[in-house]
Chains A and B, each alone.
Chain A
Amino acid sequence: MRGWLRSDGRKGIRNTIIVTYLVECAHHVAREIVRPFEDEDVHLIGFPGCFANLYAFDMMERLATHPNVAGVLLVSLGCEGFDRSGLARRIEATGRPVRTLVIQREGGTRKTVDAGRAWVRATCDGNAALPRVEMGIDELVVGTICGGSDGTSGLTANPAMGNAFDRLVEKGAACIFEETGELIGCEHHMAGRAVTPELGAEIIKAIDKAARYYGLLGQGSFAPGNAEGGLTTIEEKSLGAYAKAGTVPIDGMIKPGTRPPSGGLYLMDVVPDGELRFGYPNINDNAEIVELIASGCHIILFSTGRGSVVGSAISPVIKVCANPLTYRRMADDMDVNAGRILEEQAGIEDVGAEIVQLVERVADGERTMSEALGHREFILNYKTFEPVGPACLPKSAA
């Protein structure tokens, strides 16, 4: 396995240029800049809001300095609230090529698009020469998420991904599971797996926060498709989702953008702190994927029963299909058929081992199905977080 060494010592498994709009008003121009590069690793990301938000800034900074990212073009309209100079300075400090185009200063759409494409072309050519170095599994950060869950997700794909997590943690990787709103009902079991009682208490508090937050919204993280797939309640969905976390001890609880301080298993608390302010914590699966990537995930393991097709900008998504009927209908979108646990009596361990092998191949450059199909979804919204407390990361405090 080989990766690209970045100045902070982390290694990337992709060498991607990102083009980032800093307000929706710059979205079209950024998209036009990227358009001729659709067969190359040039991805479009952005933040739509005009009001400045610390979470959005931090997320953008983590994403722009992610080890899979080799260069960044910032596209600003000129009058939005985003601190573009602050962001550019942070990126520049990492040694990455960065350029800011302000549409109002460049002279409008056409001139900005031309300047942007020229910069991307030159930066791609320059990055092609960057050497790859040896990389170990213990340098990988892997995230997990489930989307479009049904009654099979918790029986096949999620336990198989949990088994893969156990194996990856054993090999020294950092693994992150998340969506505290989809772990409601599992809080006491998770607390029992925490490496310290203080961490266990923090986990229970985080799930209480999620239950309160979703209670205020009047609707849990439960889509109509979940019920059509046989799931009845949020607790039942949680139980299936929780199987993704495997069986090893929980080493810490992080928030979006926090990097795991070492290998091990981490829970990400994705529900905002403070009063209910900006609506649903994560309005869709990609909002969760982006937060996992901001915490350094090189690869995302995505389980689906109903059949999701999404991928992501920046980090490859490995799709693990839980339902054998869905797999037959949508095989072109799926990397792993975990439904064979139901149909062919394959063991959860067999599929877990297959996932780990695929993680290693994807880390070494093999394209996932969603990558090959050009999926590069991205979404970033408003949130508010307080810093992670010391009880949440006992390993780094020691």
Chain B
Amino acid sequence: MKRPAVILLAEADNVLVTCRNIEAGEMVPIDGAETRIEVALPLGFKIARKPIRAGEKVFKLGMSIGSATADIDRGQRVHTENLKSDYTPSFTADHGDRFGQGETL
């Protein structure tokens, strides 16, 4: 049997954290409901536990980690494309590879 795919870190959270790599199209239980994950997700990434509207705060470990910049569906990846800091912008770079993201745990 596969290990659990995601972990809920605090009851107040509206995101879950992946605790292994998840394949695109995999079904993952979110609060008991099997939910299709559209994109491959490496270990340590976040998905929405419930629909999150643009402007809403995103909670992880019970604390705000920023605001949604777009509406996010349940099970959708929550990352730089739809979440921003309420303090300073995050600087990102695309090295054009998928280093460290192709392995399965």
Contacts and interface: CB of A to CB of B under 8 A. Distances in A.
B92 A220 contact: no
B79 A232 contact: yes
Given A224-B91, A232-B79, A325 B66 contact: no
Interface of B is mostly: loop
Interface string A209-231: 00100110011101110111111
Given A220-B87, A224-B92, A342-B19, 20 more contacts: A151-B18, A151-B43, A151-B44, A155-B17, A184-B88, A218-B89, A219-B89, A222-B90, A229-B42, A230-B18, A230-B42, A232-B65, A232-B85, A233-B83, A233-B86, A323-B44, A324-B43, A325-B43, A325-B103, A342-B43
B78 to A, nearest CB: 7
A331 to B, nearest CB: 15
Interface of A: 150-152, 154-155, 184-186, 189, 211, 214-215, 218-220, 222-224, 226-236, 239, 305-306, 323-326, 342-343
A232 B87 contact: no
Contacts of A306: 100
B63 A185 contact: yes
Given A230-B44, A236-B66, A324 B100 contact: no
A233 B85 contact: yes
B100 A239 contact: no
B60 interface: yes
Given A151-B45, A155-B44, A306-B100, A235 B92 contact: no
Interface string B37-54: 000001111100000000
B11 to A, nearest CB: 16
B105 interface: yes
Nearest 7 pairs of A and B residues by beta carbon: A151-B44, A220-B88, A224-B93, A236-B65, A233-B85, A230-B44, A230-B45
Contacts of B9: 155
A28 B65 CA distance: 46
* Among A189, A231, A236, A239: residue with most chain B CB under 10 A: A236
A232 B90 contact: yes
B84 A233 contact: yes
